Amino acid sequence: MAKVVVALGGNALGKSPEEQLKLVKNTASSLIGLIQAGNQVVISHGNGPQVGQINLGMDFAAQNGKTAAFPFPECGAMSQGYIGYHLQQSLQNELHQRGMEKDVVTTVTQVVVDPGDPAFENPTKPVGDFYTKEQAAQIEQEKGYTFVEDAGRGYRQVVPSPLPKRIVELNSIETLIENGTLVIAAGGGGVPVVEEGGALTGVPAVIDKDRSSALLADNVDADQLIILTAVDYVYINYNQPDEQKLTELSQAQAQELIDAGQFPAGSMLPKIQACLSFVKGHPERKAIITSLAGLDQALEGKLGTVIHG
Ligand SMILES: Nc1ncnc2c1ncn2[C@@H]1O[C@H](COP(=O)(O)OP(=O)(O)O)[C@@H](O)[C@H]1O
Ligand SMILES: NC(=O)OP(=O)(O)O
């Protein structure tokens, strides 16, 4: 039996609750198939688009006097609940359909970050929807947000993305896993918190869920980390006429491609770095990057980019 941490990309979860539920339902079938095949599965997910949408909606309501202001960490916690709810329900329905008994639970997860992390001075994490250059400039002026171009897909707001240091709820997550519960944890990379004198306080940022998923996978001593996103493979020269898919990527080649600037900071770079940090020094471990729809094929070794330990 392998222990597998599967991380679902926020951008791969669609643009609306309807789209997200449909995508999650399809992936739930593959995830339960993985469990039925005898594996222990732990799930994490991103929240970039969703936390940005929630934040913008709450900002709009607050500015129009309809609600109190909702700080960014609270929006992050809401995104964990929203996405976790869809995942829980889809997984429970799939279990029911297959006549399987298993508890499924989402743990609101806090992740400790360093208050001195230089990321707080340099926002890089894209959140929310995609805008044209003109729309982005207008929102920048109105709200003071920072926007950048995101992997050829349009302009997006960016927020600080500090490194994850410690998963606060780790003991409870491990206890749930040991008890056979299907756990959804570290959603959106975890709500970022700082720890001062033992007290935790939320901070406005979004931790990269690939990095938190790698930390979670390492902490629970998983055999595999599977990162599901919107593309079937990692590519060299992505989106260019000479793009080349990578079925296997050695650790040395991954580092060479990072150094050559092949992977953008807000999208593919953290996935590659997360995979490297998970497998490094662990020849028995394996990391896979593929699409949500491609999970079944990836499990059969027919799709996806594999990084071996
Ligand atoms: N070299 C590359 N190979 C594959 N995809 C890449 C590459 N460089 C950038 N990308 C983009 O990165 C995206 C994945 O990052 P992102 O959307 O941030 O992930 P997530 O699904 O976790 O939200 C892909 O869908 C693709 O558009
Ligand atoms: N938190 C996070 O990394 O989200 P995405 O997967 O949506 O980028």
Please, what is the angle between helix 209-219 and helix 170-178, to 10°?
A: 60
Please indicate whether residue 123, judged by its CB atom, sits closer than 6 Å to ligand 2.
no
Candidate list 128, 271, 294, 304, residue with the active-site label:
271
Instruction: Decide if 77 contacts 54 (C-beta within 8 A).
Output: no
Give a yes or no: residue 18 inside a domain. Answer: yes
Q: What is the pLDDT of residue 189?
A: 98
Angle 127-79-222 (CA atoms, 0-180°, nearest 5)? 95
Instruction: Decide if 222 contacts 241 (C-beta within 8 A).
Output: no
Give a yes or no: residue 71 inside a domain. Answer: yes
Looking at all shown ligands, the one closest to residue 267's CA atom is 1
Q: What is the pLDDT of residue 191?
A: 98
Candidate list 46, 48, 76, 125, residue with the active-site label:
125
State the residue range of the domain holding 298.
Answer: 3-112+170-308
Give a yes or no: residue 154 inside a domain. Answer: no
Task: Identify whether 165 is a catalytic site residue.
Answer: no
Report residues of the chain scoring pLDDT below 50.
none
Domain CATH for 242: 3.40.1160.10
Angle 278-280-286 (CA atoms, 0-180°, nearest 5)? 55
Phi, psi of 205 (to 5 degrees): -170, 170
Q: Which two tokens stand for residue 151?
A: 């992997």
Q: What is the pLDDT of residue 219?
A: 98
Q: How far apart are alpha carbons 245 and 289 in whole angstroms?
A: 12
| Centre of ligand 1 from the C-alpha of residue 296, in Å | 20
Q: How far apart are alpha carbons 176 and 44 in whole angstroms?
A: 14
Please indicate whether residue 11, judged by its CB atom, sits closer than 6 Å to ligand 2.
yes
Tell me the torsion sign for CA atoms 118, 203, 159, 84: positive
Task: Identify whether 209 is a catalytic site residue.
Answer: yes
Phi, psi of 253 (to 5 degrees): -65, -40
Query: Which atom of ligand 1 is least distant from the CA of 10?
Result: 23
Q: How far apart are alpha carbons 245 and 242 in whole angstroms?
A: 10
Query: Which atom of ligand 2 is least distant from the CA of 211?
Result: 3
Give a yes or no: residue 127 inside a domain. Answer: no
Give a yes or no: residue 155 inside a domain. Answer: no
pTM here? 0.95
Task: Identify whether 10 is a catalytic site residue.
Answer: yes
Please state, as a whole number, how many other Cβ atoms lie within 10 Å of the Cβ of residue 198. 5
Task: Identify whether 189 is a catalytic site residue.
Answer: no
Give a yes or no: residue 294 inside a domain. Answer: yes
Query: Which atom of ligand 1 is least distant from the CA of 49?
Result: 23
Strand locations in the chain (E): 3-8, 40-45, 104-106, 110-112, 125-131, 146-149, 155-159, 166-167, 182-184, 191-196, 199-202, 224-229, 234-236, 244-246, 286-291, 305-308
With the most atoms of ligand 1 within 8 angstroms of its CB, the residue from 83, 156, 238 to mutate is: 238
Domain count, the chain: 1
With the most atoms of ligand 2 within 8 angstroms of its CB, the residue from 6, 11, 50, 110 to mutate is: 11
Looking at all shown ligands, the one closest to residue 151's CA atom is 1
Exposure of 171 by Cβ count < 10 A (0-12 exposed, 13-18 middle, 19+ buried)?
exposed
Q: What is the pLDDT of residue 152?
A: 83
The DSSP code for 188 is G
Please indicate whether residue 265, judged by its CB atom, sits closer than 6 Å to ligand 1.
no
Task: Identify whether 66 is a catalytic site residue.
Answer: no
Give a yes or no: residue 121 inside a domain. Answer: no
Strands 224-229 and 3-8: parallel
Instruction: Decide if 54 contacts 116 (C-beta within 8 A).
Output: no
Please state, as a whole number, how many other Cβ atoms lie within 10 Å of the Cβ of residue 65. 7
Instruction: Decide if 136 contacts 155 (C-beta within 8 A).
Output: yes
